[in-house]
């Protein structure tokens, strides 16, 4: 057994994804957003989270999936990327699990239509469960982070 990493599991387009707990600030219910002009379509806008303006993007749109209706299960996972916080809209946030780092394999070139650069790896959990771990710094690439920082100002 290697080290374990705590991961928040969330659903997106019928797949399970994970992001390390230490990168997650909070998980929020959907709330009204203020649209920001001249941003990519997957950036849905900004929310005021306890006095902090946080840009929010739809992960479905980020990865080129069909948009889905938001439901009672839809969540905004607030993550920290570098020194900015960003909200990621996901279909649902399910649980927190421990993943053995030995069970994480390098991602193939494309998983479920998502390019490998967005992925940290694929974790095998038990006999029949695969968890796609996101590489947050690539999900928000540098130029987008600069755009998001400008939103915050």
Which pLDDT score, from 0 to 100, does residue 64 have? 85
* CB contact set of 14 (below 8 Å; sequence gap of 6+): none
- Residue 2 CB neighbours (<10 A): 10
Q: 3-state class of 65 per DSSP?
A: coil
| pTM score of the predicted model | 0.86
What single DSSP character describes residue 151? H
Shortest CA distance to 27 belongs to which of 68, 69, 98, 85?
85
* CB contact set of 56 (below 8 Å; sequence gap of 6+): 33, 43, 44, 45, 46, 47, 76, 86, 87, 88, 89
CA–CA separation, 64 vs 146, rounded Å? 21
Band (146; pLDDT cuts 50, 70, 90): low
Domain of 60, CATH number, reads 2.40.50.180
pLDDT in tens, 79-95: 988 788 899 999 999 89
114-115 and 75-81 strand pairing = unpaired
Q: What's the Cα-to-Cα distance from 150 to each of 46, 53, 135, rounded to whole Å?
A: 12, 11, 22
Number of separate domains in the chain: 1
Band (73; pLDDT cuts 50, 70, 90): very high
Which pLDDT score, from 0 to 100, does residue 78 have? 96
For residue 50, what are the domain limits?
4-152
pLDDT in tens, 37-47: 888 888 899 99
């Amino acid at each position: 057994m290697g080290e374990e990493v705590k991961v928040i599991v969330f659903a997106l387009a019928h797949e399970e994804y994970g992001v390390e707990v230490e990168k997650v600030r909070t998980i929020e219910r959907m709330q009204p957003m203020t649209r920001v002009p001249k941003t990519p379509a997957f950036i849905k806008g900004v929310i005021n989270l306890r006095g902090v303006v946080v840009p929010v993007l739809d992960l479905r749109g980020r990865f080129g999936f069909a948009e889905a209706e938001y439901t009672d299960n839809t969540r905004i996972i607030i993550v920290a990327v570098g020194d900015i916080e960003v909200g990621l809209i996901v279909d649902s946030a399910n649980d927190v699990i421990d993943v053995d780092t030995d069970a994480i394999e390098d991602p193939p070139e494309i998983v479920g239509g998502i390019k490998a650069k967005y992925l940290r790896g694929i974790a095998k959990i038990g006999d029949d469960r695969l968890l796609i771990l996101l590489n947050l710094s690539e999900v928000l690439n540098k130029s987008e982070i600069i755009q998001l920082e400008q939103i915050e100002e």
